[in-house]
């Protein structure tokens, strides 16, 4: 039996690229020079990814300003004073606010796939931002001449186009980043906000065939950034029954950093659909210590006692640098953790296969 293993997405950018992006934002570096830095960083990242032995890789999101805002980067009808997201350590992130319609993406994720596939023969996975996250760009006070209904219609069309652009450019699979799911429970304990997010994202997913949805997954975590989170205090038991309502084929969940792992496994077992696969995080991206392959093996074997192996996969708890300026984890640590995940998954496969052979002889 084979246990699938995939990364989440982001890899910390090299310092020269972070400095270049900062200089470009200040009009101190021309675009062609920034493009050269992007090319170097992307090539280096893919080469290092290949060395980890990962059967599926990403582009490390090297050229994204952030996992959340890449589609609207450069959009002129934005103001900086949008929704504020607070983190446990006191720092915040702020989304922009839409000021006029129609709403259109400036960048589609398929362009990242196209570039990455030109640099590797390995399958390339691509992450896209959820429609529910981008729905937060529409201001509560509304927009004159552009209703929320019109905005949602445009948003659904653009979100679908984003995913299709990935498939059209040869993506192995597409992961929808839905990190606001757990935060929604924190903001609205009644789960009304979460349910509205689920329903909105399903409107996008339902535009794809059943076969296409097998290649679409959803990532949910407590929102890692600068070694802090925005919603780790929310119990998974409150989220998972809603999460598995999504009409996606795979789910990528934080697990390594969870304190009550057995409760998480039991809730997954109770709520996952037979056609769905869950990739549990086996590396804690907020912990600088690199897990051993043996530790990861044992974590997987523990999970396999509760979740059917045919529905089980492994991943990292989250991306290692969802925002471009996050250097709380080094590139070396990120790739070391990925290598450990790949090796640990192989060890778990060996144990499970040997057990299967023994039990059938």
* Percent of the chain surpassing pLDDT 70: 98
How far is the C-alpha of 292 from the C-alpha of 300, rounded, in Å? Answer: 13
How far is the C-alpha of 315 from the C-alpha of 352, rounded, in Å? Answer: 18
Indicate the pLDDT class of residue 32, thresholds 50, 70 and 90.
Answer: very high
How far is the C-alpha of 339 from the C-alpha of 127, rounded, in Å? Answer: 20
Residue pair 112/59 in contact by the 8 Å Cβ criterion: yes
Let me know the angle formed at the C-alpha of 95 by 81 and 113, rounded to the nearest 5 degrees.
Answer: 145
What is the Cα gyration radius of the chain?
20
Q: Mean pLDDT over residues 320-349, rounded?
A: 94
The pLDDT value recorded for residue 358 is 58
Q: Does a structural domain hold residue 235?
A: yes
Indicate the pLDDT class of residue 325, thresholds 50, 70 and 90.
Answer: confident
Q: Would you say residue 360 has pLDDT above 60?
A: no
Indicate the pLDDT class of residue 99, thresholds 50, 70 and 90.
Answer: very high
Residue pair 8/319 in contact by the 8 Å Cβ criterion: yes
The pLDDT value recorded for residue 231 is 87
Q: Would you say residue 235 has pLDDT above 90?
A: no
- State the chain's maximal CA–CA distance in angstroms: 72
Continuous segment of H or E residues that includes residue 227 = none
E runs forming strands in 159-255: 173-177, 216-220, 250-253
Q: Does a structural domain hold residue 159?
A: no
Q: Would you say residue 354 has pLDDT above 60?
A: yes
The pLDDT value recorded for residue 361 is 54
The pLDDT value recorded for residue 60 is 97
Q: Does a structural domain hold residue 142?
A: no
CA separation (Å) from 203 to 133, 165, 207, 265? 14, 18, 7, 28
Indicate the pLDDT class of residue 97, thresholds 50, 70 and 90.
Answer: very high
Beta 78-79 vs 4-5: how paired, if at all?
Answer: unpaired
pLDDT in tens, 174-212: 999 999 999 999 989 999 999 999 999 999 999 999 999
Q: Mean pLDDT over residues 33-37, rounded?
A: 96
267-273 contacts: CB < 8 A, separation 24 or more?
A: 267/236, 267/237, 267/240, 267/241, 268/240, 268/306, 268/307, 269/306, 269/307, 270/241, 271/240, 271/241, 271/243, 271/244, 272/244, 272/307, 272/311, 273/244
Q: Does a structural domain hold residue 45?
A: yes
Q: Does a structural domain hold residue 72?
A: no
The pLDDT value recorded for residue 356 is 57
Q: Which residue would you say has higher pLDDT here, 104 or 359?
A: 104
pLDDT in tens, 59-72: 999 999 889 899 99
How far is the C-alpha of 320 from the C-alpha of 331, rounded, in Å? Answer: 9
pLDDT in tens, 132-165: 999 999 999 999 999 999 999 999 999 999 999 9
pLDDT in tens, 221-230: 888 888 888 8
pLDDT in tens, 104-139: 999 999 999 999 999 999 999 999 999 999 999 999
Q: Does a structural domain hold residue 43?
A: yes
Indicate the pLDDT class of residue 359, thresholds 50, 70 and 90.
Answer: low
Q: Mean pLDDT over residues 334-339, rounded?
A: 98
3-state secondary structure 330-348: CHHHHHHHHHHHHHHHHHH
The pLDDT value recorded for residue 86 is 87
Q: Which domain holds residue 238?
A: 4-63+171-359
User: For the whole model, what pTM was predicted?
Assistant: 0.95
Q: Would you say residue 276 has pLDDT above 90?
A: yes
Residue pair 116/66 in contact by the 8 Å Cβ criterion: no
Q: Mean pLDDT over residues 255-263, rounded?
A: 95
Q: Would you say residue 353 has pLDDT above 90?
A: no
Indicate the pLDDT class of residue 33, thresholds 50, 70 and 90.
Answer: very high
Residues 6+ apart with CB under 8 A from 90: none
Q: Does a structural domain hold residue 100?
A: no
- The CATH number of whichever domain residue 17 belongs to comes to 3.20.20.210
How far is the C-alpha of 150 from the C-alpha of 101, rounded, in Å? Answer: 9
Q: Would you say residue 357 has pLDDT above 80?
A: no
Residue pair 60/49 in contact by the 8 Å Cβ criterion: yes
Domain count within the chain: 1
Least confident of 46-55, 93-102, 314-323, 347-356: 347-356
- Tell me the β-bridge partners of 124: 57
How far is the C-alpha of 183 from the C-alpha of 101, rounded, in Å? Answer: 27
Q: Does a structural domain hold residue 85?
A: no
Single out the residue of 334, 252, 321, 331 nearest to residue 66, CA to CA.
Answer: 321
Residue pair 352/305 in contact by the 8 Å Cβ criterion: no
Q: Mean pLDDT over residues 255-281, rounded?
A: 95
Taking the CB of residue 242, how many other CB atoms lie within 10 A of it? Answer: 17
């Amino acid at each position: 039996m084979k246990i699938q293993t995939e990364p989440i997405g982001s890899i910390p950018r090299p310092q020269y690229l972070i400095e270049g992006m900062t200089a470009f934002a200040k009009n101190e570096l021309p675009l062609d020079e920034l493009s050269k830095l992007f090319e170097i960083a992307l090539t280096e990242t893919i080469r290092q990814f290949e060395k980890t032995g990962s059967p599926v890789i990403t582009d490390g999101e090297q050229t994204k300003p952030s996992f959340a805002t890449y589609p609207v980067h450069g959009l002129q009808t934005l103001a900086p004073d949008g929704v504020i997201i607070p983190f446990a350590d006191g720092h915040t992130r702020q989304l922009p606010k839409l000021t006029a319609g129609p709403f259109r993406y400036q960048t589609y994720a398929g362009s990242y796939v196209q570039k990455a596939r030109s640099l590797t023969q390995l399958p390339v996975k691509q992450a896209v931002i959820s429609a529910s996250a981008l729905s937060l760009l529409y201001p509560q006070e509304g927009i004159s001449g552009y209703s929320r209904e019109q905005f949602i219609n445009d948003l659904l069309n653009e979100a679908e186009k984003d995913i299709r652009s990935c498939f059209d450019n040869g993506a192995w699979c597409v992961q929808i980043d839905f990190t606001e799911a757990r935060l929604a429970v924190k903001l609205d304990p009644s789960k009304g906000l979460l349910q509205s997010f689920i329903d909105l994202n399903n409107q996008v997913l339902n535009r794809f065939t059943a076969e296409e949805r097998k290649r679409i997954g959803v990532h949910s975590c407590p929102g890692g950034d600068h070694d802090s989170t925005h919603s780790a205090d929310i119990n998974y038991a409150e989220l998972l029954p809603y999460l598995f309502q999504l009409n996606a084929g795979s789910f990528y969940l934080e697990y390594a950093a969870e304190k009550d792992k057995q409760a998480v496994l039991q809730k997954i077992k109770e709520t996952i659909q037979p056609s769905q696969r869950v990739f549990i995080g086996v590396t804690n991206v907020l912990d600088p210590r690199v897990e051993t392959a043996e530790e990861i093996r044992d974590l997987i074997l523990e999970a396999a006692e509760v979740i059917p192996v045919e529905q089980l996969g492994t991943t990292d708890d989250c991306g290692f640098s969802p925002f471009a300026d996050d250097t709380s984890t080094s590139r070396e640590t990120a790739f070391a953790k990925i290598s450990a995940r790949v090796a640990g998954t192989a060890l778990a496969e060996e144990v499970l296969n040997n057990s299967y052979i023994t039990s059938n002889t």
